[in-house]
Amino acid sequence: MLKVLLKRQLIEDILTSRFYISLVLIFGAVCAFALVFADHFQKSQDSYLKVMAQNDRYLQQFAKSPKEHLNSSIQSFMLKPKPELFISEAYEGNIPQGFLYEPYMYSVELLSLKEEVSAAQHYRFVSKKENLADVLTYSPDLTFIVQVLLSFLALILTFGAVTAEKEKGTLRLIYSNPAKRAYFILAKYLSALFTVGISLFIGLILSLILLNVLSAVPLSSSLISSYSLFFLVSIIYLSVFILLGILCSVLSHRSKNSLVLCLLIWVFLVIVFPKSTGMLLTLKRFDVPTEEEIYQLAQKASIETEDRLEKQLPPDWSRKYYEKYRLNELLLKFQFESDKSKQDTLDYYLRKKLSAVGAARRVNFLSPASLFEYSSSSVSGTGLFHFENLWTEIRRYEDDFLSFVKNEGSVLEKGAFFYLNYDTISDKPLDFNAIPKFEDKNPKSSERLKDALPYVGLLLLYNLLLFVVVFYKFQTYDVR
């Protein structure tokens, strides 16, 4: 009986005009977004490659004369433009675009010129001067298509799942035979999920073909892996709206009432709730200073550390006799601790910013649309996940770079405290090819999936709860 009901429902869903209209809209959006993305991605890649080439030039100069070019070995580490941004842009264009690494200052600072506050819409840092209307914007990516268009299609396909059958009299006819009620609901659910899934699958294939034809994004195993994970997360998300549509139909006795209820729920869950919390968070005052204030606090911490450690130096120490003590181990530690206290302050406030963004996410956990947005950015490795991964890689590179210079260019005796300044490294040329080079590596699929698990888990929980409620309510539904 289930096969008969499922076959009948699939034919009905696929042959409806609303399905074809939605399909045309989805394909149109995919094509338009792909054209926009291809142009933007190419320009972003060109800018990124120029920055990386400049980094290499600085390192080449440093390799030729380490002592002379120590202060010009500054490097800019930017967020690498990723093909996965077409899956989920995740407001990546609005967060700090990278870090400035100054080896001789032991400094890693944000590359951001805006006055910022933490915990803005989802994972972005919104400027105090930014227009609040920007919070309502969506990114032209596949996440938008699924989050908005396909979720709407899911409700359109299911709002009359029960009420339309009742109005036509077919529901009473079906249950004049010995058919289980669970089969009817299951057929409606599986048919809608298959129909929406087909639209999504074709849209994803079309986007890959378009991006490849436009020579913007070459196919790779990493990209296909991201697309596959995104497809699975999207199906789980769309399942929520399919069940919501069926539930609205079960709770109503007329299709018009069910449609109105579905539209109200969709507007609230997809637009009003996630976006209104973002607006409220931009208005709230967080305990995080501006970029300028943070830098001043870091300088203050450095000075306080210097004042504290200066007492440990030899009695005849004086800044005007620096030349005499320039290789003194205590003085080198003194300088290192001063720089470290400054960096620790910068890191502390960056962690506070990120934790505030996490607070924004926890507020939005009730919205399936927000959970899907977080999940898609995690599985595609963009947005906040990309930013945090870049930060981690930079700190690892900092250790590698300093270890290399210490082993290859230090003039201090073995066992002495190493501090990277003009007097602690020789001017002997270094092998440029042996110098560690920074690379913004794409995290493994397992790491991305692990980051997405909490959000996907909540979406699965919502599916389970809706399943239980739908089946329970339909058991007592009057089919007459």
For 359-401, the pLDDT digits (tens) are: 777 777 888 999 999 999 999 999 889 999 999 999 999 999 9
Number of domains in the chain: 1
- Is a pLDDT exceeding 70 seen at residue 114? no
pTM of the model: 0.84
Under 8 Å between Cβ of 147 and 369: yes
Question: Where does the pLDDT of residue 122 fall: very low under 50, low under 70, confident under 90, or very high at 90 and above?
Answer: very low
Domain membership flag for residue 104: yes
Cα 123–Cα 210–Cα 270 angle in degrees, nearest 5: 35
Domain membership flag for residue 388: yes
- Is a pLDDT exceeding 90 seen at residue 61? yes
Domain membership flag for residue 480: no
Domain membership flag for residue 381: yes
Q: What is the predicted pLDDT for the residue at 343?
A: 92
Residue 279 has which token pair? 């607006």
Which residues, in sequence order, are CB contacts of 434 under 8 Å at separation 6+?
404, 408
- Is a pLDDT exceeding 80 seen at residue 342? yes
Burial class (CB in 10 A: 0-12, 13-18, 19+), 197: middle
Dist CA 383 CA 79 (whole Å): 10
Dist CA 172 CA 393 (whole Å): 63
Query: Which one has a higher pLDDT value, 200 or 219?
Result: 200
Mean pLDDT for the stretch of residues 388-416 = 85
Q: What is the predicted pLDDT for the residue at 244?
A: 95
Query: Which one has a higher pLDDT value, 326 or 200?
Result: 200
Where in the sequence is the domain holding 220, given as residue range(s)? 2-475
pLDDT (tens digit per residue) in 148-187: 999 999 999 888 877 877 777 776 666 656 557 777 888 8
Q: What is the predicted pLDDT for the residue at 306?
A: 80
Domain membership flag for residue 67: yes
Residue 289 has which token pair? 């200073």
Domain membership flag for residue 286: yes
How far apart are the two ends of the chain, measured CA to CA in Å?
20
Q: What is the predicted pLDDT for the residue at 318?
A: 60
Domain membership flag for residue 63: yes
Q: What is the predicted pLDDT for the residue at 334?
A: 80
Q: What is the predicted pLDDT for the residue at 140?
A: 77
